[in-house]
Structure 1
Amino acid sequence: MSTDTGTGARRPSCAVCLRPQQTCICRWIAPVPHALEVLILQHPLEVANAKGSARLLHLSLPGSKLIVGETFAPAALAPLLEGKRSVLLYPDTAGDHSLGIPAPPPFDPGWADQAASLCLVVLDGTWRKSRKMLYLNPLLQQLPRLPLRDTPPSHYLIRKAHAPDQLSTLEATCYALMQLEDDRRRFQPLIDAFDGFVAQQLRYVTTA
């Protein structure tokens, strides 16, 4: 497999992480067993973003699916949400009503006692892109939302946050899994691997 550099030449790319071999991130893949299913819906503009963490997350979670799109046909999205109790990893946000987004059904904390029956749905994109994905997909609006609790500051030093509590897709998903499965230690290696990924990207920035 290869990628076009934009100058007509082609350079080899990794078949696993899909990045150019010189910037391959496979060394940071940290497979972690997990009880929940994880469905990652990735905005198309994030696919080739070198700073994105969703691909690393997907490769590290054996029970995850990664689907690319902005608007998903209900006939295609509905089967992905059926079979388990789907929960959207997304904060309750002011202004939903003004956009015509109905209030989501409540999240029952007792569901965490049956983690294996849950499917965690994650939107991968900037705040504006993920907001648009929610707006364009009524099926996502109908899902209860998971509120994250007591998360540490983000380690995502390679991307500007628009709010102090904003996290990368990988971090937010890991903290959600820690919370729902009540096991921080098991998912910590993935956070540690993320730190290595961030350090690698920072080196590219400082040497560019």
Structure 2
Amino acid sequence: MSPSTSKRPTCATCLRAASACICRWIAPVETQAALLVLQHPLEVHNAKNSARLLHLSVAGSELAVGETFDAAQLEALLHAGGRKPVLLYPDTAGDPLLPAPPAWQGLPAGEVRLVVLDATWRKSRKMLYLNPALQRLPRLALMDVAPSNYRIRKAHAPHQLSSLEAAALALGQLEGDPEACRPLLEAFGGFVQQQAAYDPHLNRS
């Protein structure tokens, strides 16, 4: 095989091309709350996706890829270690296809598993529809959300966040310390800057 047709070297950690490795932005963070990221398959190879950086940064986190999960597998992921899962997801009270979730009862962070759906808004709704176990989870709503720094992907509103931003804010909320995950947000800024460097249209500002 000639050099021109050989595969590019890939980083074994972040799973990106070595030339686009994001491992320098890994920001090790330990939280009392556990983290589970359920990633839609279409996001796995999206260069602008932040979920793997989130997973690599939060100690003990789990990342599972799928759109429809095996019910037993999903239950095991949600309740591993006896944790109480809570879904980070907006209110869907006006959606006739989804039952109202149970009320979220504030628990100590050490008893909680934060569940994050890593997908576009449309795909995350489909994941919710296809996995009844997720529909049955109480929801966690974010408070005091500032405009997103996710300028490398199109958002429909200023307060729509990346998976990393949303999870960092939610974990800080669960920990009772908004600064607990500040390193994640700072690392995200570097990640965004790196990705923007590959797109001249994003560097005109």
TM range (shorter): over 0.9
Aligned mates of 1:8, 1:124 — CA distance in 2:
32
TM-score (structure 1 length as normaliser): 0.91
Aligned to 1:186: 180
The within-5 A match list for 1:162-173 is 162-173=156-167
Which of 53, 56, 72 is the aligned partner of 1:59? 56
* 2:78 counterpart of 1:81: yes
Q: Which runs of 4+ in 1 moved over 3 A?
A: none
1:130 partner amino acid: S
Q: Which residue is equivalent to 1:36?
A: 33
What TM-score do you get using the length of structure 2 for normalisation?
0.92
Q: Which whole-Å CA distance do the structure 2 matches of 1:80 and 1:65 have between them?
A: 8
**1: CA distance, partners of 2:48 / 2:146:** 20
- Counterpart in 2 of 1:3? none
Which residue of the other structure, out of 155, 161, 179, is the alignment partner of 1:161? 155
The separation in 1 between residues aligned to 2:100 and 2:178, in whole angstroms, is 30
Aligned to 2:65, which of 68, 76, 81?
A: 68
Shift of 1:63: 1.8
For structure 2, which runs of at least 5 residues remain unmatched after alignment? none
Percent identity of the aligned residues?
Answer: 62
Gaps of 5+ in 1: 1-6
Equivalent residue for 1:4? none
Which of 133, 141, 149 is the equivalent residue of 1:147?
141
Indicate conservation of the 8 Å contact 1:96/1:103, yes or no. no
Using the TM superposition, give the Cα deviation of residue 80 of structure 1 relative to its aligned residue in structure 2, in angstroms.
Answer: 1.2
Alignment partners' CA distance in 1, 2:46 and 2:69: 21
Residue 141 of structure 1, CA deviation: 0.1
Alpha-carbon displacement from aligned partner over 1:44-96 (angstroms, at most 9, x marks no partner): 00000000000000000012000000000111111112221100000112542
Which residue type is aligned with residue 95 of structure 2?
Answer: D
1:128-176 alpha-carbon deviations (Å, 9 max, x no partner): 1111000000000000000100011100010011123210000000000
Superposed CA RMSD in Å reads 1.4
